[in-house]
Amino acid sequence: MKVRDLINSLNLKILAGEKGLEKDVKGVYCCDLLSWVMSHAKSQNAWITVQIHTNIVAIASLLELSCIIIPENIEVEENTLEKANDENIPILQSDLNSYQLCVKLNQLGIDE
């Protein structure tokens, strides 16, 4: 599944990183503790987090994550969006909460 497929299936809003929409999504990781994400998320995971500062882009880039999904329509800092555009890391926004997103992603067949 591609990031673009997630956007269409979950009605996600693209905030940044449009050049990365063809990245493969092989799993999902949901966590807000950045050090924990760094040690447990896997390459090509979609990452669900309420964090909105630039460090999320650095982590996503370092781990080669597919995208970052921000739940509950949380507004993301402008400098974070700029950094995501520079790094081609899609940042997506949803009105769903983290749990609801995980359930929907599992229903789409993403079970890691």
pTM of structure: 0.96
- DSSP assignments along 30-78, one per residue: E-S-HHHHHHH--TTEEEE-S--STHHHHHHHHHT-SEEEE-TTPPPPH
Identify the architecture of domain 3-107 in CATH.
3-Layer(aba) Sandwich (3.40)
Per-residue pLDDT of 47-93, as tens digits, reads 999 999 999 999 999 999 999 999 999 999 999 999 999 999 999 99
Domain edges within the chain = 3-107
